[in-house]
């Protein structure tokens, strides 16, 4: 050990490697640094550049603004966890920055050129034009998206792509997370501690709820995909395999505490997971809509291990505070509400009726007859 110590002490000190400034990094280098939490220094320009890169990622090009903002917020949250000295940036401010970037054509691939076209983005106080200080500093805006209270966000009226503008300004397109989020709610419900009813009972109610809501949605939005029992069961089995693995790690209580974003981040799941198991022809076939069809590529998983297990702090206390104030952080999707309503209606059927007092029926006495019926003695 002494030799090792002497040898080690004689080595020349290494000069610490100097990291390039964030502005000198390429898009790929900056993106990797952002996801790893190694961008330093981190200021408003780096914040905007991360939003810009997030919008231009291929998997985000067809998503709506709030969907991309949610993904960006999760990435920023992980970045802040690795850099605790950073100041909090409200969810509303995240979406505010994305809105400004979102208005520009994707051909502006150069970030500096983008700032040239939208110079107001450099102004760190831009959100105060749309939000009052009490809103930006509130606990609610730190965790949830809020609409501006001073002026409306601008619409991308100058964007040349009509399809882009339609998707931005109208809620006519189906949420790609819809089936996966619904499956998460269903599985989380039937995995509650103490639940004794069979899994098939819950799945039957879930399928009926999703089918009914899909039909209602398609009546006004024909472009929404038709209900498919194969697709519905696929996502439920996928989520079941993942959440069952959490039970072995943290018990049933952990399954009930994990949120949907945490669940997705832990297991790296996405709505496109079906492509590993089904071919497009079978996935969208009429046969798959009517009944469950097994995969033709890869079998459905029985269990799934978390590749990067980490469950961050939940927001139960914050949500309880919001509810006391009469605020609802996020209303579940209609099919989720319909599913829980169906369970409550079934539960109500098993509630015994209270004992009612006996009912006495009083029959009125017959009126006296005007005719005389002779007895046997009178006729003799």
pTM to 2 decimals?
0.51
pLDDT of 379 over the 50 cut: no
pLDDT score, position 267:
85
**120 with 65, same domain?**
yes
pLDDT band for position 177 (cuts 50, 70, 90):
confident
What average pLDDT does range 254-259 have in this prediction?
86
Average pLDDT over residues 156-165: 47
For residue 364, being part of any structural domain is answered with: no
Q: Residue 197: how many CB atoms within 10 A of its CB? A: 11
Average pLDDT over residues 254-263: 84
> What does the alpha-carbon distance between residue 333 and residue 369 come to, in Å, rounded to a whole number?
71
Query: What per-residue confidence (pLDDT) applies to 205?
Result: 96
DSSP string, 259-323: -HHHHHHHHT--GGGGGGT--HHHHT-HHHHHS----SSSPPPS----TT-------HHHHHHHH
pLDDT in tens, 5-19: 333 444 445 555 567
Name the DSSP class of 19.
Answer: P
Domain ranges, residue 277 = 167-350
End residue of a domain, out of 159, 187, 216: 159
DSSP assignment of 208-264 equals: HHHHHHHHHHHHH-TTSPPP-HHHHHHHHHHHHHHHHHHHHHH-HHHHHH--HHHHH
Residue 227 is predicted with a pLDDT of: 95
More confidently predicted of 31 and 88? 31
Check residue 293 and give its pLDDT: 96
pLDDT of amino acid 344? 92
Domains contained in the chain, number: 2
pLDDT in tens, 304-344: 876 655 554 444 554 555 455 444 445 688 899 999 999 99
Please tell me whether residues 296 and 265 are part of one structural domain.
yes
Tell me what pLDDT residue 3 has.
Answer: 34
- Residue where a domain terminates, one of 159, 189, 208: 159
Task: Give the mean model confidence (pLDDT) for residues 245-260.
Answer: 83
Average pLDDT over every residue of 156-174: 47
Tokens 């009726």 appear where? Answer: 353
Regarding whether 337 and 298 lie in a shared domain, the answer is yes
* 144-153, 266-275, 349-358: segment of lowest average pLDDT: 349-358
Mean pLDDT of 190-219: 93
Enumerate residues 6+ apart whose C-beta is below 8 A from 375.
none
How large a percentage of the chain has pLDDT more than 70?
61
| 338 or 48: which leads in pLDDT | 338
**Domain end call among 94, 127, 159:** 159
Asked whether residue 14 is assigned to any structural domain, the reply reads no
Pair (184, 61) in one structural domain:
no
CA–CA separation, 15 vs 23, rounded Å? 23
- Domain membership of residue 149 (yes or no) is yes
* pLDDT at residue number 343: 94
Nearest CA to 234 out of 191, 170, 172, 187 is that of: 187
pLDDT class of 148 with cuts at 50, 70, 90: confident
331 and 244 in a common domain: yes
In a domain, 144, yes or no: yes
Between 280 and 41, the more confident residue is 280
Q: Are 155 and 171 contained in the same domain?
A: no
Whether 297 shows a pLDDT value over 90: the answer reads yes
Residue 241, domain member (yes or no):
yes
Question: Which CA distances in Å does 146 have to 128, 139, 142, 149, 313?
Answer: 13, 11, 10, 9, 22
In this structure, the answer to whether residues 225 and 81 fall within a common structural domain is no
pLDDT of residue 308: 55
Q: Does 75 score more than 90 pLDDT?
A: no
> For residues 354 and 233, which has the higher predicted lDDT (pLDDT)?
233
Across the chain, mean pLDDT equals: 73
Q: Answer yes or no: do 238 and 133 share one domain.
A: no
- What's the pLDDT tens digit per position in 83-140? 766 655 544 455 545 555 554 444 434 566 556 555 666 677 778 888 888 888 877 7
Residue pair 241/149 in contact (Cβ under 8 Å)? The answer is no
In a domain? residue 372: no
């Amino acid at each position: 050990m002494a030799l090792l110590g002497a040898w080690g002490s004689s080595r020349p000190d290494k000069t610490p490697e100097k990291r390039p400034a964030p502005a000198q990094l390429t898009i790929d280098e900056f993106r990797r640094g952002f996801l790893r939490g190694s961008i330093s220094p981190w200021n408003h320009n780096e914040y905007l550049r991360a939003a810009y890169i997030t919008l231009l990622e291929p998997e985000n090009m067809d998503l709506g603004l709030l969907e991309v903002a949610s993904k960006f917020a999760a990435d920023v949250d992980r970045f802040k966890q690795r850099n605790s000295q950073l100041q909090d940036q409200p969810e509303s401010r995240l979406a505010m920055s994305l809105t400004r970037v979102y208005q520009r054509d994707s051909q502006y691939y150069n970030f500096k050129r983008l700032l040239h076209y939208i110079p107001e983005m450099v102004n760190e106080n831009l959100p105060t034009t749309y939000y009052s200080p009490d809103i930006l500093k509130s606990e609610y805006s730190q965790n949830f998206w809020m609409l501006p209270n001073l002026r409306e966000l601008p619409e991308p009226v100058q964007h040349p792509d009509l399809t882009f503008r339609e998707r931005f300004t109208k809620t006519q397109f189906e949420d790609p997370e819809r089936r996966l989020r619904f499956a998460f709610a269903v599985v989380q419900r039937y995995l509650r501690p103490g639940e004794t009813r069979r899994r098939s009972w819950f799945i039957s109610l879930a399928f009926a709820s999703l089918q009914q809501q899909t039909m209602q949605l398609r009546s006004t939005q024909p472009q929404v995909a038709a209900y498919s029992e194969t697709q519905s069961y696929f996502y439920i089995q996928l989520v079941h395999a993942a959440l069952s693995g959490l039970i072995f790690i943290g018990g049933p209580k952990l399954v009930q505490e994990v949120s949907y974003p945490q669940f997705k981040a832990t297991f790296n799941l996405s709505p496109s997971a079906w492509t590993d198991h089904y071919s497009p022809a079978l996935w969208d076939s009429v046969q798959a809509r009517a009944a469950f069809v097994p995969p033709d590529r890869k079998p459905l998983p029985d269990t799934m291990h978390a590749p990067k297990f980490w469950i961050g702090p939940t927001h139960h206390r914050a949500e309880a505070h919001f509810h006391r104030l009469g605020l609802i952080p996020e209303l579940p999707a209609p099919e989720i509400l319909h599913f829980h309503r169906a369970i409550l209606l079934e539960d109500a059927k098993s509630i015994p009726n209270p004992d009612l007092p006996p009912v006495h029926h009083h029959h009125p006495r017959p009126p006296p007859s005007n005719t005389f019926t002779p007895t046997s003695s009178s006729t003799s």
